[in-house]
Structure formats: C-alpha cells, structure tokens
Amino acid sequence: MAAPLQQLELLKASSFASHRVGKLSVQPQIAPSLAAASNSIPLKPMRPLTAYHIFFQIERELIIQTSEGEIANKSSLDNKVYLDDVPQRYKNIRLLPDWYAGPGKRKKRKHRKQHGKIGFLELSRVISARWAELDVIDPETKAFVQKIAQTEIDEYYRDMKRYKELTKGMLPMMSNLTAGPAAVPKRSAEKRSSYVMSNSEDISSEMQPQQASCPDMIATSLELMQLQIQLQSEIDHFLSCIEKRKQELLSSHFAAKKSQLKISNQVPLPYQFEKPVQKKMKTFHRQDSSMSELSYANSLEMSRTVSADSTASLSTCTDELEIGDDEIINFWKTCNNN
C-alpha cells in the first residue's frame, strides 16, 4: 500500500512543478514587450485650464496672501516670486512661474500643510462671486486670464494633432498588447486522473499572468479626473450665480413693498363730498280757460277793483258812465291776456 501512495505524491509534485516551470518560462517573454511598448507610446495631452480656473488660481493666491493672520506653513512661498506681467492688483503677491499651467505641465511639488485661513468651499463661493462681477470691477484681469486661456488651448490643439500623428500606426500593436497571452491547452482526460486535473486547473488559474495597464488608459483616467474637477467648479459658479440672483430679486421685492407702504401712508383719505341739498324748485302750472272757483273769485274781485278805479278816474271827465257786464268780462279777459 505504501508504494501506490508514494507514486501519487510524486505525481502531484511533478504536476505542480511543471506548471511552475511553465509560468516562469512564459512571464519573462511578456513583461519586456509591455515595458518596451509603454516607453514608445506617447502620453496623450491633457486639456488646459479655462479662463475661470486660471482666475481661480491667481485669485486664490491673492486671498491667502492678503488675508489676516500668519500662513501656517511658510515653506509654501518657496520658489514664488513677484511677477511684472500680471495685472496691477496682483503686483504685490508671489506667484510660481508656471502658476497658470494645467495638469500634466506643472512641475510636481511635495504636499505641504494647508494655509488654514479659509476653507475650500468658502473660497470657491468668494471667487465665483468675484468672477461674476469681474467685467465691471476689473476688466483688465478678465482680459488677462482670457488671453492666457486662449494661448493654452491653441497649444493643446497643436499637441493633440502631433499625438494623433504619432499614434496613428500604433493602434494594432496596442490592441495586441492588451489582449494578453493565449490560453494554455488542456490535457485530455484520458491521460490523467480527475484529481490531478482539478489541482492543475486551480494552479494554472492562480499563476496566469495578469494584463498590464496601458498608459493610454492612465492618461484617460487623469483626463476624466480633470474633467470632474472642472465640472465641480462650474457647478459651484452656477450655484453662486443663482444665489446672487435670488438675493437681488428678494431685495428688489422688499424695496418695492416698502415704497408701496410709504406711498399709501402719505396719500390722504379720499375727500368726502357732501350731498348737495336739492333746492325746491318753483312749479309753474299752466292756466287753463276753466279756472277754479277761488281763482276766478279773486280775479273777479281784482277786476272789480280795477273797474272801480277806472270808473273813478273816468268820473272826473264825464259825469255819468255806464258799463255793462259784457264789457267787464271782455276787459277782464284783456287784462289776463296781457
């Protein structure tokens, strides 16, 4: 019984050793080719900073260096100098020679402690608010950062054109490198037992060489990170503009309400007009031929008085004058008509 067990142990050891030898023999053939290919592939140019991000860089230095209090780490001012080709408001602050350079062009510097004067969110709000009013407050700085951004984007387009020309013939080679080595063919089940086959498959899966990351993928991830930072800054700027517009609308609304209340307090109460008293108008009645008895009696008495006066006056001229009733009625009618 001891002999079959020893043979089984030897079979396991030989199978494991053969896979180890195969692994070691394959790996040196792949690694040099990937290393050589990565050295020959140029890095993809990264997009430069926009005019807003360039303004963010220089305005950040202005806020930090002119704020009250001491800088936590004074070594952050190392290699920073006063520049002459900047707007007037930045003449008295220190800047790096490549302060406007975008990702991939700026020199790497070791991480330093933060200044401790203002938080990043508050800094973003302040700079976004200043950028929104930069056309009115400081047009010189606006034109300055826009000119730098245009120069950087022109250079980026030239670099991209050169990069596409260099990588035009490298696309098949890059696809072959990323495909990985061919799979090792399996042995037939008739030549080995099921136990040895399971162990060999586990060992081969553990020792299969991993695919190396392509430099182009690394450059793409860096570009995505830069795009994320740019989008976050633009979102902060957009939110600051919305907040500013909201404050303006609220202030104008309250000012209008206040002016309306002031005007309403100054306007006197509407004048209460007195109701005109209707004067009693005289009523005139048409006199008809058929008069009432009272009016007729009055008129008759008046006619008699008149006739008496006339008789008295005529008696002075004549001794005796006789007037009939018909003449009296006619005389009365004549007087009424007149």
The tens digit of pLDDT for each residue in 81-117 reads 888 889 988 988 888 888 888 777 766 665 555 555 6
**288 within some domain:** no
Whether the per-residue pLDDT at 296 is higher than 60: the answer is no
Instruction: Identify whether residues 87 and 231 lie together within a single domain.
Output: yes
Contacts of 23 (CB under 8 A, 6+ apart): 207, 209
Over residues 152-176, mean pLDDT? 81
Question: CB atoms < 10 A from the CB of 287, how many?
Answer: 9
Q: Residue 13 — very low, low, confident or very high, per pLDDT cuts 50/70/90?
A: low
Instruction: Identify whether residues 304 and 252 lie together within a single domain.
Output: no
Residue that is written with structure tokens 């309250």 in the block:
254
Per-residue pLDDT, 209: 44
Would you say the pTM of this structure is higher than 0.75?
no
Q: In the numeric block, which tokens belong to residue 56?
A: 């963010």
Domain count, the chain: 2
Instruction: Identify whether residues 235 and 315 lie together within a single domain.
Output: no
**183 within some domain:** no
Q: Are 145 and 53 in contact (CB under 8 A)?
A: no
Domain that holds residue 126: 51-177+214-257
**200 within some domain:** no
Predicted confidence (pLDDT) per residue in 276-293, tens digit? 556 555 554 555 444 455
Instruction: Identify whether residues 229 and 325 lie together within a single domain.
Output: no
Predicted confidence (pLDDT) per residue in 19-62, tens digit? 444 444 444 444 445 455 555 677 888 888 999 999 999 998 88
**269 within some domain:** no
Q: Which amino acid is at 87?
A: P
Q: Residue 13 CA to chain centroid, in angstroms?
A: 70
d(CA 197, CA 199): 5
Q: Residue 73 — very low, low, confident or very high, per pLDDT cuts 50/70/90?
A: low
Per-residue pLDDT, 17: 47
Per-residue pLDDT, 111: 52
Chosen domain end from 257, 288, 320:
257
Instruction: Identify whether residues 168 and 75 lie together within a single domain.
Output: yes
**242 within some domain:** yes
CA atoms within 13 A on the CB side of 278: 3
Predicted confidence (pLDDT) per residue in 168-200, tens digit? 877 655 555 555 444 444 444 455 555 545 555
Predicted confidence (pLDDT) per residue in 206-223, tens digit? 444 444 445 556 667 777
Where is average pLDDT lowest: 43-52, 138-147, 156-165, 308-317?
Answer: 308-317
CA angle 320, 325, 331 (to 5 degrees): 90
Instruction: Identify whether residues 166 and 81 lie together within a single domain.
Output: yes
Instruction: Identify whether residues 99 and 247 lie together within a single domain.
Output: yes
Contacts of 83 (CB under 8 A, 6+ apart): 90, 95, 97
Predicted confidence (pLDDT) per residue in 302-327, tens digit? 666 655 655 555 454 444 556 677 87
d(CA 55, CA 302): 117
**143 within some domain:** yes
Q: Quick one: what percent of the chain has pLDDT higher than 90?
A: 13
Q: Residue 159 — very low, low, confident or very high, per pLDDT cuts 50/70/90?
A: very high
CA atoms within 13 A on the CB side of 293: 0
Residue 149, judged by CB atoms within 10 A of its CB (0-12, 13-18, 19+), counts as buried
More confident residue, 170 or 332: 332
Per-residue pLDDT, 20: 46
Nearest alpha-carbon partner for 63 in 128, 1, 123 = 123
Per-residue pLDDT, 11: 52
Instruction: Identify whether residues 166 and 312 lie together within a single domain.
Output: no
Per-residue pLDDT, 327: 79
Predicted confidence (pLDDT) per residue in 230-247, tens digit? 888 888 888 888 888 888
**247 within some domain:** yes
Q: Are 174 and 44 in contact (CB under 8 A)?
A: no
**267 within some domain:** no
Q: Which of 4-13, 14-23, 248-257 has the highest mean pLDDT?
A: 248-257
Chosen domain end from 222, 257, 292:
257
Chosen domain end from 257, 280, 311:
257
Instruction: Identify whether residues 117 and 231 lie together within a single domain.
Output: yes
Nearest 5°: phi and psi at 257?
Answer: -60, -40
Predicted confidence (pLDDT) per residue in 252-264, tens digit? 888 887 777 777 6
Instruction: Identify whether residues 219 and 328 lie together within a single domain.
Output: no
